[in-house]
Amino acid sequence: MRDASVELLQPFALGCDTKQIKIVQLCLTAIQKLLQHHIINQASAATTVNILSNLCDLNTEELKILQTVLLLVNTTSVVVHNTLANLFVITFRLCLSKDPTIVNTATAAVRQLITAVYDRVIEEDSQVYEIPSTASSLKTERPLLQETNLIKHSKDSLNVEALRPYAKDAYLLFQDLCYLANGDQSVWLIGLTEITRTLILELIETILIHYASIFYHHDELRYLLKERVSPLIIKLFSPGMKHVAKSEKLSTNNVQMGSGNLYDGAYFPLIARLLRLVCILVRLYFSLLITECEIFLSLLIKLLEQDKPIWQRSLAIECIHKILIQPNLLKLFCLSYDMQPHASKILKDLTNGISSFIQSFFNNNSISTSSNAAISVQASSTSTITEKKNSGNTKSDNTNSYNGGSNTNTVLFVYRSLCVPQYVTYQQGQAKCLYLENWEKVDCPLIPDSYGVVIAFACMLELVRNVQLIIEGNGMRGDVIPGSQLKTSIQIRPFDKVTLDERNEYIEIMNCTWPSILVTFTLLYDVCYDDTACEHILKVIQTYISLCGLLQMNIQRDAFVTCLCKIALPQHYNIHVLNKYNNNTANGSAEMNLLQKITSSLSPQSTSNDLDKQQVVIVGTPLPMVNVSTSQTSVMLTSKNIHCMRAILAVAHCHGSILGTSWHLILETLQHLVWIIGFRPSTGGILKHVGVTSDNTNSVNSPVIVTGATADLPILSAMLSRLFESSKYLDDVALHHLIDALIRLSIESMEVAVNVREPSLFAIVKILETGSANLNRIDVWWKPISSHLIEVCQHTNIRMRECGTEALTLLVRNALDHKYEKNLFENERLLHMIIQPLQELSLIQHFDVRQKQLECTLSLLRNNGHTLQTGWPLVLNIIGSISREHTENLIRLAYQCLQLVVTDYLPTIPVQYLGILIKVVAKFGFQEQDLNMALSAIGLLWNMTDYLFRMKEQEQQLKNV
């Protein structure tokens, strides 16, 4: 029957020619039955298409025609070449019907025809390339780096006639779509005189996004991509094309365009579709179109500029967001452009463009503050957005046009009298475009100014995430650690297996991105109102500190540390600390310029009222500093400052191995925060809070803590302690950096302590904790720490002196009690090294220091007297250094030590040291302050004489034996 299908169709063709509606309906139904039973061949298919074309000219039974069209393509594969072209022409003509139902149905039919044509090509290719035959398996995005070997082709090597049948149809169809979109005459779709450009662009987009594998397998289609699609997009974006009329119908014989100025409402559908095409080409075809993508990306960056209409800027930032969710593209941008000598710095310009987009919103002086927007964020159920006039257009910040189901009651950023709602919830690795994907919109929507800022914020977060994935390869090290749940310090991944070229690539990526990342997120944190957004920003800063440290980019690392410390300190307080830091840094000039840029990113008035909106949790006093005079008698810490403090602790805990010289700024910032909060050292060196709550204000000088914040104080104290306890996981070089920073901080505190009664003891307390945590490698740090603590013990400030003496004596006790691999009894060098600083305290004339020294000596004798051996001369010299000029209490304490030595440890003292002991005992026998003590010392001498006499007798007996 299939061979006789032409004769079977003949009566139905005649019936359709009658133009009688009922007869035409019956004939079309019969033809559809034939198609459903596959009773058709190429000749009868051509006849059927001619029947449909004639009926289309008569505007009769359009829906029946469309049904038949779909059956022709979906039930059989015999419709090819010119017959297929005629079928497309019929469907395109029906897309221009005046009946909306017909238009919608015809548009859907065209899409199904496109799908059928290209699915055939995939099936055809599967038999040649040995790839999966299912369409779904080939519609996925292909790895860009694996396709570079397919790019090598030239125009001369193209041979369209050599294409297989289905591939040739696909090529001719795609070529004509490009011609039509460009306003040229079609070659294959003969008879098509009018078509809507937006529909053509949508069809091209459908083909490109779902059938990327076809373009990678066929040089001819790749040629169209390079020589037709790319120039088409560039042409339509050019200024000369901005006179597109409201009516987007194109005549292929003589393209009639409107004249005059651009009407945004008519231009929006075209630009939206062009940007979607740009996004697809960059994401899926970058390796085929490296030069063209450079133009596309430059165009996107240009659209972000402030002189562009807000709807164009918003569409562009949405497009960039879709691009940035692919990590491999960032690396390709850097390799293809930024690292090439004569190419554009696309990655750098892209990052700068997004940053400028955000900054222009907050820094633009045209922001209207006259709106009576009552920004009571916690109480208000809706957010009032002020209006901003730009580029001659007035945009109202509301979400009536499209809210995408987002919760606009959540406020992300607050700036003066302007608030930015959370139009879209950020989801890692996903881009939700409310306007770029809005197919139904014909007129330009009212897009609020602040919408683009939210998307730009998500773009920057994706940029950082992808940079990290490129360099580290997997998840983020050192995430923000909630509460006190600090784990052991995370060690840096060894970079031994990274090649020099890869390292250079990573450094170039960092150099392209870090300045804009730093400035942008510093600005955003200042105006950020949402806790989740604040966590994202702090996580970004921590990530870049880690990456810069990993790549040994020390200046950049220090800049991010400075940024984190800046936002952790109270407003107008941090300038003194940061300026002092930059003046004492070798690279201070470069960092100062960067910090000035950060500081100027917000105008002075921008944060003047922000304290009213943020929750002040602590009111304390500023820490006294050297050569810094301030009129501030109290400073306020907000909840954001406390969040930053936790972030600093997380950075120091997780990335201590790569902080290097940044330790000093981190520790200094923590010292200031600890002082403001009211942490003071207690027994054993632990910091405890000494302030009062807001319900109890009896103490004038103590910090005032909001009642709700008191629960955080023990957590912060525990985090501080665990930070220095975790120093045991640092390598020796990193530990030296930490200790050096603590000693520098302590020296600064000593300078301040000369003129103040109550100095900061933070550094000394943390030196004690750090030393106690690293007793297993005491050789690495003992000498610098003990030497510094001896200097502290000589200070004129009694509080400083007492703390230093307690730290040194505790370290000596802990060191002697520690279990070493080699027994302390057998390690003479180590034993002398530990006790030597204790003996050096004898040179200090302060009685309080000598008392701590003797108390430590007494404890040492009680706990470790049996292991002293060669350390006895040092201990005996400590006891014997007490003279008649000292107080009675010191003499009694020293004599107590001496009594313990003679009564308990005399048999364990080597004979060669007994002469020293006799001299010390005799010295106490000559003292005149306490007669009983002198007599008792003489008694000790008699005991020693008796001991020596017995020892001599034992020796003689041994000789006689």
Which pLDDT value is given to residue 825?
77
Which pLDDT value is given to residue 698?
45
Residue 157 predicted with pLDDT over 80: no
| Confidence label for 684 from pLDDT (cuts 50, 70 and 90) | low
Residue predicted with more confidence, 241 or 769: 769
- CB contact at 8 A, 891 and 882: yes
Which pLDDT value is given to residue 612?
46
| Confidence label for 259 from pLDDT (cuts 50, 70 and 90) | very low
* Range ranked top by mean pLDDT from 4-13, 151-160, 658-667: 658-667
Task: For 149-164, give one letter per residue: b (16+ CB within 10 A) or e.
Answer: ebeeeeeeebeeeebe
The average confidence (pLDDT) of the chain is 80
Which pLDDT value is given to residue 394?
35
Domains: count for the chain: 1
Residue 253 predicted with pLDDT over 70: no
Residue 681 predicted with pLDDT over 80: no
Residue 252 within a domain: no
Asked which of 223-237, 879-893, 945-959 is least confident by mean pLDDT, the reply is 945-959
Instruction: Enumerate residues 6+ apart whose C-beta is below 8 A from 798.
Output: 848
Which pLDDT value is given to residue 864?
86
Q: pLDDT above 70 covers what percent of the chain? A: 78
Local structure of 705: helix, strand or coil? strand
Residue 478 predicted with pLDDT over 60: no
For 310-327, the pLDDT digits (tens) are 889 999 999 999 999 988
Residue 62 predicted with pLDDT over 90: no
Residue 654 within a domain: no
For 1-47, the pLDDT digits (tens) are 667 777 888 888 888 888 888 898 899 898 888 888 888 888 888 88
Which pLDDT value is given to residue 122?
93
Residue predicted with more confidence, 241 or 931: 931
Residue 915 within a domain: yes
Residue 438 within a domain: no
Average pLDDT over residues 179-198: 89
Rounded to the nearest 5 degrees, what angle is found at the Cα of 411, between the Cα atoms of 570 and 268?
125
| Confidence label for 958 from pLDDT (cuts 50, 70 and 90) | low
Average pLDDT over residues 644-671: 93
Which pLDDT value is given to residue 245?
36
| Confidence label for 577 from pLDDT (cuts 50, 70 and 90) | low
Which pLDDT value is given to residue 493?
46
Asked which of 784-793, 925-934, 952-961 is least confident by mean pLDDT, the reply is 952-961
Instruction: Enumerate residues 6+ apart whose C-beta is below 8 A from 385.
Output: 373, 396, 397, 398, 418, 419, 420, 421, 448, 450
Which pLDDT value is given to residue 230?
93
Which pLDDT value is given to residue 130?
58
Residue 918 within a domain: yes
Residue 737 predicted with pLDDT over 90: yes
Residue 258 predicted with pLDDT over 50: no
Average pLDDT over residues 641-649: 93
Residue 862 within a domain: yes
Residue 932 within a domain: yes
Which pLDDT value is given to residue 691?
56
Residue 223 predicted with pLDDT over 90: yes
Average pLDDT over residues 712-725: 87
Type and span of the H or E element at 152? none
Question: Could you report how far apart the first and last alpha carbons of the chain are, in Å?
Answer: 133
For 754-765, the pLDDT digits (tens) are 888 889 999 999
DSSP structural state of residue 843: G
Helices (H), 629-731: 639-654, 663-677, 712-725
Burial class (CB in 10 A: 0-12, 13-18, 19+), 911: exposed
Residue 938 predicted with pLDDT over 90: no
DSSP string, 193-262: -EEEHHHHHHHHHHHHHH-HHHHHH-HHHHHHIIIIIHHHHHHHHSGGGTT--SS-EEESSS-----SS-
For residues 203 and 110, what is the distance between their CA atoms, to the nearest angstrom? 8
For residues 144 and 43, what is the distance between their CA atoms, to the nearest angstrom? 43
| Confidence label for 705 from pLDDT (cuts 50, 70 and 90) | confident
Q: What is the CATH number of the domain that holds 896?
A: 1.20.930
Residue 946 within a domain: yes
Residue 332 predicted with pLDDT over 90: yes
Amino acid type, 600: S
Side-chain half-sphere CA neighbours of 410 within 13 A: 15
Which pLDDT value is given to residue 441?
65
Angle between helices 62-74 and 42-57 (to 10 degrees): 160
Average pLDDT over residues 552-580: 83
For 432-468, the pLDDT digits (tens) are 888 887 766 677 778 888 899 999 999 999 999 999 9
Question: Number of helices (H) and strands (E), helices first, in the chain?
Answer: 37, 12
Residue 392 predicted with pLDDT over 70: no
Which pLDDT value is given to residue 579?
63
Q: pLDDT above 90 covers what percent of the chain? A: 43
CB count within 10 Å of CB 460 equals: 26
Average pLDDT over residues 913-937: 83
For residues 938 and 932, what is the distance between their CA atoms, to the nearest angstrom? 10
- CB contact at 8 A, 256 and 248: no
Domain that holds residue 892: 815-961
